[in-house]
Each structure stands twice: as structure tokens, then as C-alpha cells.
């Protein structure tokens, strides 16, 4: 150890938490970052468009290639292949972005989407012989490309969420995540708009009349329509790739996983620009325009061996930490900017040389951490009980997607049943492409146009309004609490819709079911559909954030696969006059949503601090009554529920259970029992005091 001959020289060591605070100090002083948002949102929009395009193209495929079939097994197989690919993409890319970095995977999933989109748009049955036999199976090619497309779609979920959460400031994280997820209903709406535009435009250019009944005339035009709808999905993917080339690795990953402090600072400044940082806890902020952060430390008796990548300016009684070009460049200076480790007797510095053993050891200490060792995984998830967080987020997403995809994927016939105001005219079975039970002789043009228009009214209006309202209110509602209550609201809606459907089906009351269906779509996006996407990106540490978000999202896709396999068995879309199958399905969804509320209440932690409330009391104890304008707070500040930092949430139960409600079903039931006992005790005391006062 080298002795430093300076009276008041002090040395400080930065812990991982201090180093992380230094980076977050740069990020957290900014608001909504449009650049980061566009990078994440563009990819999510692309994937939503391509996923829900199946609602547009399924009737076209059935009309052209499976005309006359009454079974929906082809649509089911295509949807299950897409969702299975999504499940795989979520698990695979969620883990890979933790192991190799977010930036290395930027754009790869979009390249997969582009290749799969172009492949499906050009799918063919090959050579056709005179007997009508084909050299290839078009159905197999479509299933293959939809599976590959699903991998790219699924990969986007953890990547978009993690990129947004780790780049966002604490005050804007919730809005940015909610705004990214709003791309799902927008992408869904765009798929229908492109489908409607392609149907009208191509039909007009090719001379297809809306009343054309000839298969030979209509099939070639409709074939061009569905290929156009699929092919258009490649264009936003190209734009999203360009956007992703403009953003570096997230500073949190660079700092905590790659252990590169200097690069993390550089990237943060590159995205957010120069900022003023005055966090005395954090150490240096960054060079290039940032103010030097000062840390006051007292004589600790440490030698030069204890310096860990910071510069200390020695003074009479304190030291100032100076920004460094990298964490291995340590400079200790004293008065008059002379080296602190300076021997005044011979005019020579006693600092270690650039290639000293001390520096080599420091580089070795800062190697990339080992994330996925079994002892570390066991300690975090088992010993500390954080498996409950993973189970809670996964179960909530599973339950949500059972209901959401049960009503929202491959849904033309479901929506047609809701819109029926009188008994259908169908006496036999309809081909799967025709969802209009009231007109068995409808042309493919009219069926497609009607499906698209009804879907936009029934689904897009409610889902978009829900996303916009949540985007406005996201700072003012406790997310975990609202997640549980929104499940309860959905349960009530499904129960009422299911019960009333017995009476409303094929009658003038069908508008009641339609209104409830639209309102349920609003609540989906106002509550669980958005929040289940947000919370897994917040409650896990950086080293596991992508993996855990991928697992939670994959659980949701597992739920969507399960319901796609169950729906054909229920015969809810079969031709006929039965209301019971669909009504009982809605009622079963109500029960499932109640279970989702229980899971959210027990296993989803609070990701926000207490409401700021009335911070400055004026006259009569009312906030805002003070005569000093500086003491008054706006409505938004007063009612805002500030988000916890990712650093606090990343500690798992250790971070979220401090002075908060516990995580776990038994723990929460015991908490409710204890609180109820306290309320009863207070009530009994008041009753005794009341009777005692009367007797006296």
C-alpha cells in the first residue's frame, strides 16, 4: 500500500449502488424521452399489426383455399402456430437479452418479422397437375411462416418493455411503458384499415364488384388482397430497424452487467444530453458539460489501494469527486491541482504507474458479472421468496390472455353473433369464410367489408379509448391495486354480459351485449392488458429483467393457446340459434377474472410510493391554502402516486416489502385478519365507552 503524504487527503470507494445512482441521476432528471419511445413503440406497433392481421386474412384464406369447409381447424392451426412461435420468442429473446445485452438483439427480431412476412406473402402451393394435385402444401407453408413470424413477434415483448423501462426516468417510466403498449390497439386498427383499403382499392382496380358471386372471378382478387395485407407489415419493421440503430445499450445493463461505468455514462449523455447533477450521494455524474458532483468525506485512514475508480480532490477538510474518462483512470490531486500523492521533498509523484498491478487487479475486479449461476438464482428466487413475483406476474398474464384472446383473435363469427338482432336465415352449415348468419348468400367482398367495419367498432373504439385514458391517469393510480380492481370490473362485465346474452341474443336487446363487449375492451386496455405488460419490466433486477418478463409474457401466450384449443370444442361460433355456449363462455371468463384479482392482490407488489397528497398545509390544514405560491402544489403533483425506482424494485421482496403490504396469499390473509381485528377492537372500545358514559 502506498502512503499518501497529505494532511487532509480522504479516499472514497463507490459501491454498485452508488455507481448505479450516478447513472440514474443523469436519467431521472429528464421526462418523457421521445427517441427511446419511438425505438420501442415502432417495433411493438409492427408486431401488433402482424399478429392481428390474422383476423383480416383468415376469411380470405378460407374462401380461396378451403372453400366449402365448415370446420375452423385450419384457422385454429394457423393461430396456434403463431402463438406458439410467440411463446418461444418471448422465452428465448427474453433470456438472450439478459445474457448478451439488449443492443445486440436490437433489430434481430424485426429481421425475423420481415423475412417471415415476405415469405408468407409469397407462399405458394407449387406446381399443379392436370388432376389438380399440387407439388407443395400451401397450408403447411402458411403455418411455417406464421410460426417464424410468431418468434419475431414474441421477441419484441421483453425487448420493448426492457428497453423502455431501463431508459426511462423514474417519473416518466409508467407513461412511456403505457404509451408503448398503446401500439397494440393502434397496430390492430391499422391492420383493419389496411385490409379495408386493400379490399376496396384492389377490387376497384381489378374490376371486382361487391355483388360478384363467381369464385373464379373473385378468388384471384381476394388472393391479392390478403397478400397485400401481410406484405405491408414489412414496411414498419424496416423503419423500426432504422430507429433501433440510433440508440446504444441501456446504461443500467452496461453498468451492472458489463461493469463499464464510463461507457454507461457516455451512453446516458448521448441519449439525454448534458445535464446538471447535484446528487451528493452518487459521486461523479459525467464529463462533457455536466457539473461536478461533490462528495464530502472525512479522513478515513485509507490508502491508495482503497481507491476504486474515482478521483478525489483533497482540501483542508473535504474532497471533491471529479469525473473520469473511465473507471480505471484514477487521479488524486491536492492543493493547486498538484498530485495528492506528491512527495514535496523530491518533486516526484508516488501514484502507481499506468500498467501497475493495482490497475490490473482493478480491471479483473470489474469483469462482467456471472448472472445465471445456480447459487445466485436459488438465493434470489427461492431463499428470498421472489418466485412469488414471477408466479404472480405470470399467472395474471395467463388469466388475462385467456379472456382477451378468447374474444379478440379469429373473432369474425363471435362478433357476428353479438351483432345479430333477429334469428338467422341459415338452415344448414355455412362455410367458414362466411360469418354473416343473417345472409348465407353474401359475397366474399361484402363479408370481408362487414367483418372489418364491425371489428373496428366493436374492438378498436373501446381498446383505444382505454389506452388513452390510462395514459392520462397512469401517474395517479396505484398500478397493482388498479390491476386487481380492473380484474373485478371485468368479472362483473362478463357476468352481466353472459347472463343478459340469453335474453339479448337475436333480439332488439343485442345492443346491450354489444355495449358490454365494447366496454370490456375498454377495461382490458385501461387495466390488466396494459399493466401486465408494465409490471414485469419493473419488479425484477436488471440481471433477470428480460428473462422474467419473457417468462411472464410467455405464460400469457400459453393462456391464449389454451383458449384457442378450447373454443372449437365449445361450438360458440357454429351455425344455429343457440345462445348458451357463448353465454356460458362469458360467465366462465367472469370466474377466471375473479381469480386473476385474487392473484394480483396477493402476489403483485406495490411499484409506487404513497400518494404525495398534501405536502404543504396552509390555513385550516388544507393543501394549497398557503399564501406563498411556492408552497402550493398543483392538482397533478398533489394526487400523483410516484413510481419507485428500478433500483429499489430490483431488490425483490427486500425492496417492496419495506413498510408495505407483504407478498404472498397467506401473508396478505393474515394481514387482513389482523387489521380486521384491530378495527373490531376499536369498535368494541367505542361501544364500551359509549355505554360507560351513559351509565355515569
Q: Which of 351, 425, 416 is nearest to 576 (CA)?
A: 425
Residue 1 domain-assigned (yes or no): yes
Residue 690's pLDDT is: 83
Residue 505's pLDDT is: 82
| Cβ(573)–Cβ(417) below 8 Å | yes
Residue 660's pLDDT is: 63
Q: Where are the beta strands (DSSP E) in 363-476?
A: none
| Cβ(449)–Cβ(208) below 8 Å | no
The rounded distance, in Å, linking the Cα atoms of 608 and 481 is 10
The rounded distance, in Å, linking the Cα atoms of 244 and 40 is 8
Residue 4 domain-assigned (yes or no): yes
134 beta partners: 128
Nearest-10 Cα torsion for 171, 176, 179, 181:
-120
Q: Which three cell numbers stand for residue 418?
A: 353479438
Nearest-10 Cα torsion for 545, 550, 556, 558:
-150
Number of H helices, E strands in the chain: 27, 4
Residue 18's pLDDT is: 75
HSE value, Cβ hemisphere, 13 Å, CA-based, for 598: 9
Residue 307 domain-assigned (yes or no): no
Q: What is the CA radius of gyration of the chain?
A: 30
Residue 695 domain-assigned (yes or no): no
Q: Which three cell numbers stand for residue 354?
A: 499506468
Q: Which of 299, 541, 275 is nearest to 284 (CA)?
A: 275
Residue 428's pLDDT is: 59
Between the CA of residue 282 and those of 26, 92, 262, what are the distances in Å?
10, 35, 14
The rounded distance, in Å, linking the Cα atoms of 12 and 605 is 35
| Cβ(91)–Cβ(83) below 8 Å | no
Could you list the mean pLDDT of each consecutive 10-residue stretch along the chain, which spans 696 residues?
37 59 87 92 94 91 87 88 96 96 91 95 86 85 96 96 95 96 96 96 94 93 96 93 89 92 90 58 37 35 34 36 39 42 44 45 52 90 93 97 85 80 66 80 92 92 95 94 97 94 82 91 96 96 96 97 88 66 91 97 91 50 43 67 92 72 84 88 85 72
Residue 694 domain-assigned (yes or no): no
349 beta partners: 342
HSE value, Cβ hemisphere, 13 Å, CA-based, for 205: 11
Residue 102 domain-assigned (yes or no): yes
The rounded distance, in Å, linking the Cα atoms of 321 and 528 is 45
Residue 574's pLDDT is: 63
Which helix or strand (DSSP H or E) is residue 545 part of? Answer: helix 545-570
| Cβ(241)–Cβ(107) below 8 Å | yes
Residue 291's pLDDT is: 36
| Cβ(268)–Cβ(251) below 8 Å | yes
Question: What range defines the domain where residue 495 resides?
Answer: 1-254+374-603
Cα angle, residue 419 at apex, residues 416 and 424 outer, rounded to 5°: 70
Q: How far apart are the first and last CA of the chain?
A: 81
Distance from the Cα of residue 436 to its chain's centroid: 36
Which helix or strand (DSSP H or E) is residue 279 part of? Answer: none
Q: What is the CATH number of the domain that holds 229?
A: 1.20.1250.20
Q: Which three cell numbers stand for residue 687?
A: 361501544
The rounded distance, in Å, linking the Cα atoms of 155 and 116 is 14
| Cβ(389)–Cβ(652) below 8 Å | yes
Residue 105 domain-assigned (yes or no): yes
Residue 666's pLDDT is: 86
Residue 576's pLDDT is: 54
The rounded distance, in Å, linking the Cα atoms of 171 and 29 is 9
Distance from the Cα of residue 128 to its chain's centroid: 46
Q: Which three cell numbers stand for residue 330?
A: 484514477
The rounded distance, in Å, linking the Cα atoms of 644 and 658 is 12
Q: Is the pTM of this model over 0.85?
A: no
Q: Which of 111, 102, 58 is nearest to 82 (CA)?
A: 58
Look up cell 361460433; give the residue: 573
Residue 341's pLDDT is: 41
| Cβ(311)–Cβ(333) below 8 Å | yes
Classified as helix, coil or strand, 556 is helix
Residue 15 domain-assigned (yes or no): yes
Residue 245's pLDDT is: 84
Residue 110's pLDDT is: 92
Backbone CA torsion sign across 229, 231, 232, 237: positive
Residue 150's pLDDT is: 96
Domain count, the chain: 1
Backbone CA torsion sign across 655, 659, 661, 663: positive
Classified as helix, coil or strand, 134 is strand
| Cβ(243)–Cβ(78) below 8 Å | no
Distance from the Cα of residue 133 to its chain's centroid: 46
Amino acid at each position: 500500500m502506498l502512503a499518501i503524504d497529505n494532511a487532509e487527503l480522504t479516499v472514497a470507494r463507490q459501491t454498485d449502488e452508488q455507481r448505479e445512482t450516478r447513472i440514474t441521476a443523469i436519467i431521472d432528471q429528464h421526462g418523457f424521452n421521445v427517441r427511446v419511445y419511438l425505438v420501442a413503440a415502432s417495433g411493438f406497433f409492427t408486431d401488433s399489426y402482424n399478429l392481428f392481421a390474422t383476423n383480416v386474412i383468415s376469411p380470405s384464406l378460407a374462401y380461396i383455399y378451403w372453400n366449402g369447409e365448415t370446420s375452423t381447424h385450419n384457422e385454429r392451426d394457423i393461430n396456434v402456430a403463431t402463438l406458439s412461435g410467440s411463446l418461444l420468442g418471448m422465452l428465448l429473446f427474453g433470456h438472450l437479452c439478459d445474457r448478451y445485452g439488449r443492443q445486440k438483439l436490437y433489430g434481430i427480431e424485426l429481421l425475423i418479422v420481415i423475412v417471415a412476412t415476405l415469405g408468407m406473402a409469397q407462399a405458394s402451393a407449387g406446381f399443379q397437375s392436370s388432376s389438380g394435385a399440387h407439388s407443395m402444401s400451401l397450408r403447411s407453408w402458411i403455418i411455417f411462416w406464421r410460426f417464424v413470424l410468431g418468434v419475431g413477434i414474441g421477441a419484441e415483448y421483453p425487448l420493448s418493455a426492457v428497453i423502455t423501462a431501463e431508459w426511462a426516468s423514474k417519473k416518466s417510466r409508467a407513461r412511456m411503458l403505457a404509451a408503448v403498449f398503446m401500439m397494440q390497439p393502434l397496430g390492430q386498427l391499422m391492420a383493419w384499415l389496411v385490409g379495408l383499403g386493400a379490399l376496396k382499392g384492389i377490387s376497384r382496380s381489378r374490376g371486382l364488384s361487391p355483388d360478384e358471386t363467381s369464385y373464379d372471378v373473385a378468388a384471384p382478387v381476394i388472393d391479392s388482397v390478403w397478400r397485400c395485407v401481410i406484405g405491408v407489415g414489412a414496411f414498419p419493421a424496416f423503419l423500426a430497424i432504422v430507429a433501433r440503430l440510433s440508440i446504444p445499450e441501456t446504461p443500467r445493463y452496461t453498468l451492472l452487467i458489463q461493469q463499464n461505468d464510463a461507457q454507461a455514462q457516455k451512453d446516458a449523455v448521448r441519449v439525454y444530453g448534458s445535464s446538471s447533477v447535484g446528487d451528493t450521494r452518487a459521486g461523479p455524474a459525467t464529463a462533457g458539460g455536466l457539473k461536478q458532483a461533490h462528495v464530502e468525506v472525512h479522513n478515513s485512514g485509507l490508502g491508495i489501494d482503497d481507491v476504486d475508480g474515482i478521483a478525489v480532490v483533497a482540501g483542508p477538510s473535504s474532497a471533491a469527486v471529479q469525473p473520469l474518462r473511465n473507471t480505471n483512470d484514477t487521479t488524486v490531486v491536492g492543493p493547486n491541482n498538484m498530485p495528492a500523492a506528491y512527495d514535496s521533498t523530491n518533486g516526484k509523484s508516488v501514484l502507481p504507474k499506468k500498467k501497475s498491478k493495482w490497475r490490473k487487479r482493478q480491471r479483473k475486479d470489474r469483469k462482467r458479472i456471472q448472472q445465471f449461476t445456480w447459487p445466485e438464482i436459488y438465493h434470489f428466487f427461492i431463499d428470498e421468496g421472489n418466485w412469488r413475483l414471477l408466479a404472480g406476474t405470470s399467472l395474471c398474464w395467463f388469466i388475462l390472455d385467456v379472456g382477451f384472446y378468447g374474444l379478440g383473435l379469429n373473432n369474425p363469427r363471435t362478433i357476428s353473433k353479438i351483432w345479430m338482432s333477429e334469428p338467422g336465415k341459415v338452415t344448414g352449415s355455412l362455410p367458414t369464410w362466411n360469418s354473416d348468419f343473417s345472409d348465407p348468400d353474401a359475397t366474399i367482398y361484402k363479408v370481408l367489408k362487414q367483418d372489418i367495419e364491425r371489428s373496428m367498432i366493436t374492438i378498436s373504439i373501446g381498446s383505444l379509448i382505454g389506452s388513452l385514458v390510462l395514459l392520462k391517469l397512469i401517474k395517479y393510480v396505484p398500478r397493482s391495486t388498479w390491476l386487481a380492481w380492473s380484474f373485478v370490473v371485468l368479472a362483473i362485465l362478463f357476468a352481466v354480459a353472459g347472463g343478459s346474452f340469453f335474453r339479448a341474443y337475436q333480439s332488439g336487446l343485442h345492443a346491450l351485449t354489444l355495449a358490454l363487449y365494447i366496454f370490456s375492451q375498454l377495461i382490458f386496455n385501461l387495466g390488466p392488458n396494459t399493466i401486465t405488460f408494465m409490471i414485469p419490466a419493473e419488479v425484477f433486477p436488471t440481471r433477470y429483467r428480460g428473462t422474467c418478463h419473457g417468462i411472464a409474457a410467455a405464460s400469457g401466450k400459453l393462456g391464449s393457446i389454451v383458449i384457442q384449443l378450447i373454443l372449437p370444442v365449445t361450438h360458440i361460433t357454429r351455425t344455429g340459434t343457440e345462445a348458451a355456449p357463448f353465454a356460458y363462455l362469458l360467465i366462465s371468463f367472469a370466474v377466471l377474472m375473479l381469480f386473476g384479482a385474487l392473484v394480483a392482490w396477493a402476489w403483485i407488489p406495490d411499484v409506487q410510493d404513497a400518494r404525495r397528497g398534501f405536502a404543504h398545509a396552509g390555513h385550516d390544514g388544507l393543501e394549497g391554502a398557503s399564501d406563498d405560491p411556492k408552497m402550493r402544489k398543483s392538482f397533478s403533483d398533489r394526487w400523483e402516486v410516484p413510481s419507485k425506482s428500478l433500483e429499489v424494485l430490483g431488490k425483490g421482496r427486500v425492496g417492496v416489502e419495506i413498510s408495505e403490504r407483504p407478498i404472498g396469499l397467506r401473508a396478505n390473509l393474515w394481514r387482513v385478519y389482523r387489521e380486521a381485528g384491530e378495527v373490531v377492537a376499536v369498535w368494541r372500545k367505542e361501544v364500551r365507552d359509549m355505554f360507560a358514559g351513559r351509565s355515569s
